[in-house]
Amino acid sequence: MTRRDPRPIGVFDSGVGGLTVLSELRSRLPAEATIYLGDNARTPYGPRTADEVRTFTTECVRWLLGEDVKLLVLACNTATAQALPQVRELSGVPVVGVVRPGAVAAAAATRSRHVGVIATAGTVASGAYPSAIAEADDRVLTVQQACPDLVPLVEAGELSGEPVRGALRGYLGELIGRDAQIDTILLGCTHYPLLRPLIEGIAGADIAVVDSAFTTALAVEDLLDALGTRAPDSPSGDERPLAAAHRIVTTGDVGAFSLVASRIFGASLPDIEAVSLPAL
């Protein structure tokens, strides 16, 4: 029996990158309330040790669980790669990570069976993407490239211009130089879709670029349907849709966060809230 659940979906990222996942969730599931937490005070997670990533992620997840969410989305590839088992053990609600949906999309997109992954150093070191892509299709060869400069650039609002173009040319050149048969590039960090136009321009028309934001939203939708916990579409006997409530919270500077967030959500961006976790 379907039971409607109006509680929000919790979305976590190390900074602004997970807003790309949040945007897809809000587009695909307009009746669902959301609460987003970006740990901008401690971003980037990519260069940090696995223990640090697990500690920071579980601290943020505890905060979201305290807000009575019905489902958690780890919209951070590094957190998913390094901390997903710990989060699932901690959480009393279902948890969706971004690695598997992105891996499935990349395996389905490639025709040459050669996929390039660009990601943070932490995600690359974890080996999460090669494992997940092999699980989706063990005939696919995966080549990875760590891109340590990209998250700091995005967090600083640098979404165009020569610094980011130069960094991308270097990283993509190294990746494709190691495997000229790559026909699909997977954006293995949720910050990177904000650079997608530049990435596609540098990679060229013969290389498909995929990310996990859309497929993660699909996975969340499927899970809500399987559990029967979608939000009510409208009050009983009223055909007007309910206006879903959305909150965006950051541990860092509200102004800097808003600069990037406003480019994604425009006029629909809610007021950004600041939060100080006990560990901070």
Q: Which residues are catalytic?
A: 76, 189
How far is residue 272's CA from residue 254's CA, in Å, rounded to a whole number?
6
**Phi, psi for residue 75 in degrees, rounded to 5:** -90, 30
> Of 36, 65, 69, 175, nearest to 118 (Cα)?
175
Tokens of 227: 């559990």
Torsion of CA 107, 211, 129, 183, to 10 degrees: 50
CA atoms within 13 A on the CB side of 230: 15
**Phi, psi for residue 103 in degrees, rounded to 5:** -65, -45
Reduced DSSP (H G I as helix, E B as strand, rest coil) percent helix, strand, coil of the chain, to 5: 45, 15, 35
Q: What is the secondary structure of 215-248 as a DSSP string?
A: HHHHHHHHHHHHHT-PPPSS-TT--SPP---EEE
The angle subtended at Cα 76 by Cα 74 and Cα 79, nearest 5°, is 80
Torsion of CA 99, 105, 111, 113, to 10 degrees: 20
- Residue 32, burial from CB neighbour count under 10 angstroms (0-12, 13-18, 19+): buried
